[in-house]
Amino acid sequence: MSATQNVDYQKKELPKKFQTVGTVLFVIGLIGVIAAYLTDGSRSAFNNIIMLMFLTSIGLGSLFLVSVEFVAGAVWSTPFRRIPEFLSSILLVLPIVVVPLLFKLGDIFHWMHPEVVEADKILTGKAPYLNVDFFIIRVIVFILLWIIFYYFITKNSKKQDTTFDQSLTKRNIKLSAAFIPVFGITISFTAFDWLMSLEPHWFSTIFGVYYFSGSILAAFAAVTLIVVWLNENGYLVKGLTKDHYYSLGAFMFAFTNFWAYIAFSQFLLIWYANLPEETFWFLQRWEGSWIYFSIGLIFVRFVIPYVGLISQPSKMDPKRLIIMSVWLLFAHWYDLYWLAMPNYSKEGVLFSWIELTFPLMAVGIVILLLVQLSKKNNLVPIGDPKLKRGIDFRL
């Protein structure tokens, strides 16, 4: 029994201002979103998809990080595993974020119109997969599966805070091992469903991996941002070191490279083969002002974080980590916008208050969830048998 783990953790309330900021952002965002839907329904729906995919990235990606820690028996991340656990609670709000989209499906996906599909050989061929009923079933089943895993994994973890029961770790290892393949399959098909099928004639088999790489990067960025801030302000267990920071920074750096690797692989193969049915997707993103946006993607998502995180000290500097993780979260939104928006606005980049309200609401949701959860729970899994070893982790 490790009930006697002598770790130095005193639970502190988060400052009130978080609640206020979260509420304000959420309310402004919500009003904005409603106004946006009233002004321009289909444009808002596209923004809504981006928001949905952004929240899915962080929620599902965080749950993946938690389960990888269990399966791999990793200790370095145990002291702050609660943070990805909190973040995966985002999965609970996905059903609400999806709802407005269900009314706009026809505006978003042109394969949802039977007369279009009938006149189109390719879409007819894809109809066994791309049809409204199956699509809705997938959306519901996937979200349900995620929430079930979220519920059990975090429940076990929280229970350990009071019972100190080591067998809960065992149980979570099994759950995580079951979750990881489910995660792999569902995240790929989610990417196909919501993002790739916006352009149903186009296909890229690496697309699921593309979304995966960005998602894990976004999840790491969110975790890093919160962990570094909380730790610098003394909300976490005492004894976290630069080695923990370094590991988080190294993961952000690694996944930045991984994203670039995958994104470039996708581009290179399509560029080389030069098949019109594949290249047109990139050509669309090379038209009008999209060309600047596409070139910008390389810098926003790869060059800047790469340079910003390459040196060893930069991965240990709390300020740099916070800046880079905020930047990477922005970059993820930018990437999702690049994936989705050209299907709505073929002429060029669109930007106005509509595009702003959705991120505001998303950030508001996440802050409120975190504040809520941190009231009821410890910010550190104090009952976890790996906790002490996690604090002692050195590179």
Partner 1 sequence: MSEKILYSYTGIFDTPDEIIHAAEKASEYGFKNYDVHTPYPLHGMNKAMKLPPSKLGYVALVVGLSGALAALLLMFWMSAVDYPIVIGGKPFFSFPAYVPVMFEVTVLSASIATVLTMLFIFFKLPNNAHPLNDTLYMKKVSSDKYGISIQAEDNKFNEADVRRFLEDCDAKEITAVYYDKEEINYKHKILEPKFIGFLLFTALLTSGVTYFTLNKLLYMPPFDWMMEQNKLNPQATSTVFDDGFGMRKPVEGTIARGFTPYSFSGQPEAAEVNLVNPLPVSKSVLELGQQKYDTFCSPCHGYYGEGDSRLRGQFPNPPSLHSEKIRTWKDGRIFHVITDGQNIMPSYSSQLTVNEIWAIVHYTRVLQRALNAKESDLQ
Report the half-sphere exposure of 196 (CA within 13 A, side-chain side).
Answer: 22
Q: How far is the CB of 312 from partner 1 (least distance, A)?
A: 6
Question: 268-275: long-range contacts (C-beta < 8 A, 24 or more apart)?
Answer: 269/206, 270/204
Which is nearer to partner 1, 162 or 311 (by Cβ)?
Answer: 311
Considering the rule CB under 8 A, would residue 121 count as an interface residue with partner 1?
no
394 scored as a contact of partner 1 (CB under 8 A) = yes
Q: Pick one of 27, 312, 347, 353: the residue that binds partner 1 (CB under 8 A).
A: 312
Which two three-digit tokens encode residue 138?
Answer: 């997938």
Q: Which is nearer to partner 1, 10 or 274 (CB)?
A: 274
Find the binder of partner 1 among 264, 292, 299, 351 (CB under 8 A): 264
Interface residue with partner 1, options 151, 271, 292, 353 (CB under 8 A): 271
Instruction: Candidates 113-121, 157-165, 309-317, 364-372: pick the segment binding partner 1 (CB under 8 A).
Output: 309-317
Q: Which two tokens stand for residue 382?
A: 């104090």
Smallest distance, Å, CB 321 to partner 1?
A: 17
Report in angstroms how near the CB of residue 155 gets to partner 1 at its nearest. Answer: 33
CA distance 294 to 118: 33
The number of residues that bind partner 1 (CB under 8 A) is: 12
Question: 236, 204, 195: which is closest to 81 by C-alpha?
Answer: 236
Least spacing, CB of residue 139 vs partner 1, in Å:
36
Q: Measuring CA to CA, which residue among 56, 58, 53 is closest to residue 85?
A: 58
Q: Which of 260, 256, 391, 238 is nearest to 315 (CA)?
A: 256
Which residues, 6 or more positions from 389, have their beta carbon under 8 angstroms from its beta carbon? 75, 78
| Residue 4 found at the interface with partner 1 (CB under 8 A) | no
Nearer Cβ to partner 1, position 198 or 321?
A: 321
Given the rule CB under 8 A, which of 8-16, 24-32, 152-160, 387-395 is the region that contacts partner 1? 387-395
Neighbouring CB atoms inside 10 A of 121's CB total 9
Cβ 370 vs Cβ 82: under 8 Å: no
List 4, 6, 10, 274, residue binding partner 1 (CB under 8 A): 274
Which residue in 369, 245, 361 sits closest to 312, CA to CA?
245
299 sits near partner 1 (criterion: CB under 8 A): no
Among 313, 319, 346, 352, binds partner 1 (CB under 8 A): 313
CB of 172 to partner 1, least distance (A): 26
Identify residue 177 by its one-letter amino acid code: A
**Cα–Cα separations (whole angstroms), residue 371 to 18, 97, 113, 120, 126:** 7, 20, 43, 50, 44
Q: Residue 267 interacts with partner 1 (CB under 8 A)?
A: yes
Q: How far is the CB of 349 from partner 1 (least distance, A)?
A: 23
Binder among 34, 105, 137, 268 for partner 1 (CB under 8 A): 268
343 phi, psi to nearest 5 deg: -75, -25
* CB-based contacts of 211, cutoff 8 Å, min separation 6: 53, 57, 187, 188, 190, 191, 195
- Residue 134 binds to partner 1 (criterion: CB under 8 A): no
**Smaller CB separation from partner 1, 75 or 123:** 75
| Binding string, residues 54-73; x marks residues near partner 1 by CB under 8 A | --------------------
Q: Which is nearer to partner 1, 23 or 265 (CB)?
A: 265
Q: Among the candidate windows 63-71, 197-205, 306-314, 350-358, which touches partner 1 by CB under 8 A? A: 306-314
Q: Which residue in this structure is represented by tokens 């990606």? A: 61
Under the binding rule (CB under 8 A), the answer on residue 395 touching partner 1 is yes
> How far is residue 273 from each of residues 121, 204, 270, 279, 338, measured CA to CA in Å?
23, 13, 5, 9, 23
- Evaluate whether 195 touches 211 at the Cβ level (below 8 Å): yes
Interaction of residue 272 with partner 1, rule CB under 8 A = yes
- Inter-residue contact 329 to 61 (CB < 8 Å): no
- Closer residue to partner 1, CB minimum distance, 4 or 272: 272
Cβ 241 to partner 1, closest distance in Å?
A: 9
The contact set with partner 1 (CB under 8 A) reads: 264, 267-268, 271-272, 274, 311-313, 393-395
